Amino acid sequence: MRDYTPEYESYKDDAVAIINGAAIAVAVLGVWTKPVFTGPIALVLALIGYFLTPKSRGGTILAVCLITVFALLVLWADGYSPV
């Protein structure tokens, strides 16, 4: 049985994972709503997760940007206009 002590528990890693997951969820939400608004919100969440982790390489930021562009293309093909 492993001995769990406070120095081995990392609540910060859990918090960063939740923030990154929320960023992806908000970006995916843009497919069904307005990606012009949800994209920047997701990007801000991804940036917060990026700056909270010293070893981060920005994969969530790239994923949020690609999902937002995909959402814009899908909705543009469906006749969506952000104006």
- Cα angle at 57 between 56 and 59, to 5 degrees? 105
pLDDT of residue 60: 94
pLDDT of residue 61: 94
Would you say 69 and 40 are in contact if contact means Cβ atoms under 8 Å apart?
no
Q: Let me know if residue 32 belongs to a domain.
A: yes
Contacts of 46 (CB under 8 A, 6+ apart): 20, 23, 60, 61, 63, 64
Write the DSSP assignment of 7-56 as a string of letters: TT--HHHHHHHHHHHHHHHHHHHTTTS-HHHHHHHHHHHHHHHHHH-TT-
Mean pLDDT by 10 residues, the chain (83 residues): 62 89 95 90 95 87 95 86 65
pLDDT of residue 2: 61
Our count of domains for the chain comes to 1
Q: Let me know if residue 41 belongs to a domain.
A: yes
Q: Let me know if residue 1 belongs to a domain.
A: no
pLDDT of residue 6: 62
Give the type of residue at 8.
Y
Q: Let me know if residue 48 belongs to a domain.
A: yes
pLDDT of residue 8: 57
For residue 38, what are the domain limits? 11-77
Q: Let me know if residue 83 belongs to a domain.
A: no
Q: Let me know if residue 63 belongs to a domain.
A: yes
Q: Let me know if residue 51 belongs to a domain.
A: yes
Q: Let me know if residue 68 belongs to a domain.
A: yes
